[in-house]
Amino acid sequence: MLHVINHPLITHKLTIMRNKNTGTKEFRELLYEISMLMSYEITRDLPLEDVVIETPIAPMKAQMISGKKLAVVPILRAGLSMADGFLKIEPAAKVGHIGLYRDHETHQPVLYYCKLPEDISERLAIVTDPMLATGGSASDAINILKKAGCRNIKLMCLVGAPEGVEYVSKNHPDVDIFIAAMDKCLNENKYIVPGLGDAGDRIFGTI
Ligand code: PRP
Ligand code: URA
């Protein structure tokens, strides 16, 4: 299921990111901040359990997040800043890394690295990647997680193209997709239009 997270703070920050005059430092910081805000929505259905505590005034029955195990799985490179934002909200989450790059000619994802927490099959995995273009990278990353036994997966992106959302939804109807904006289309190089350019290059200053 697709969730487009609509919030003025996110929209404002994303507009600054899209601007081609925004530099690397600001771009990276904004992606981190938006990821924190999106994490708030993505974790909305985490189960709570009753606990008994004592305030300075009186004992009370309160609630805390129950022992749900989480993992955040950035798709390298661009997913890293989003994972950092998620970890700020959920610091106890374990981290897996999936290295994928898009071949410049075929636009197909190529796997070059994978390291996942040993108990990933018991965890809710949040896959992070700012750009959901053709959907090939996200879909492959989810396949890898499923092969590792993971059954509870959410995808957190910043900007989506209709093609990518459709591709991931078709391949993985069980995975909830969260984006901050749905853009128009892909161009001939499979870049999102209007998008924000090459996310990895803009985050790491490798343009
Ligand atoms: C970008 C982006 C996604 C992918 C999206 O990574 O961060 O991983 O492209 O495209 P898709 O939906 O068509 O698969 P890129 O391949 O440029 O690698 P990088 O992060 O190492 O720059
Ligand atoms: N990868 C990016 O970084 N940007 C796009 O628009 C598409 C793929």
Mutation choice for ligand 1 from 108, 131, 156, CB with most ligand atoms inside 8 A: 131
The rounded Å distance from CA 131 to ligand 1 centre is 7
Is 140:172 a contact under the CB 8 Å cutoff?
no
The string of pLDDT tens digits covering residues 81-118 is 999 999 999 999 999 999 999 998 999 999 999 999 99
Grouping H, G, I as helix, E, B as strand and the rest as coil, residue 181 is strand
**Model confidence over 11-70: pLDDT tens digits?**
999 999 999 999 999 999 999 999 999 999 999 999 999 999 999 999 999 999 987 799
Residue 32 dihedral angles phi and psi, to the nearest 5°: -60, -45
Q: What is the pTM of this model?
A: 0.95
71 CA distance to ligand 2 middle (Å): 24
